Amino acid sequence: MASLIKQASFSPVVTGAALLVLLKGPESMQRPVYDTLYQILKPHNIDRLITTLKWLFAYGLIKNVNEAFNQFARNNFSLRSTKANWDWDNEIAVVTGSSSGFGALFSKDLSDKGIHVVAIDINPLPSHLQNNPKITFFKCDVTDVEAVNAVAKEIQSKVGHPSILINNAGIGGQRPILRTKPEQLQKLMGVNLFSHYYLVQAFLPNMLEKKKGHVVSIASMASFFTTPGITDYSCSKAAVLAFNEGLSTELRTIHRCPEILTTIVHPFFADTPIIAAGKAELEKAGAKILDPQDISDAVVDQIVNARSGQVLLSNGFGPAMRAFRGLPCVCLFWFFMVSMM
Q: Which residues belong to the active site? A: 233, 237
Q: How far is CA 175 from CA 47, 172, 178, 179, in A?
A: 49, 10, 8, 6
118 and 138 Cβ atoms separated by less than 8 Å: yes
Provide the phi-psi class of 47: left if phi over 0, else alpha when psi is between -120 and 50, else beta.
alpha
Closest CA to 116 of 88, 142, 138: 88
Q: First CA to last CA across the chain, in angstroms? A: 15
Q: Is the dihedral of CA 108, 112, 113, 119 positive or negative?
A: positive
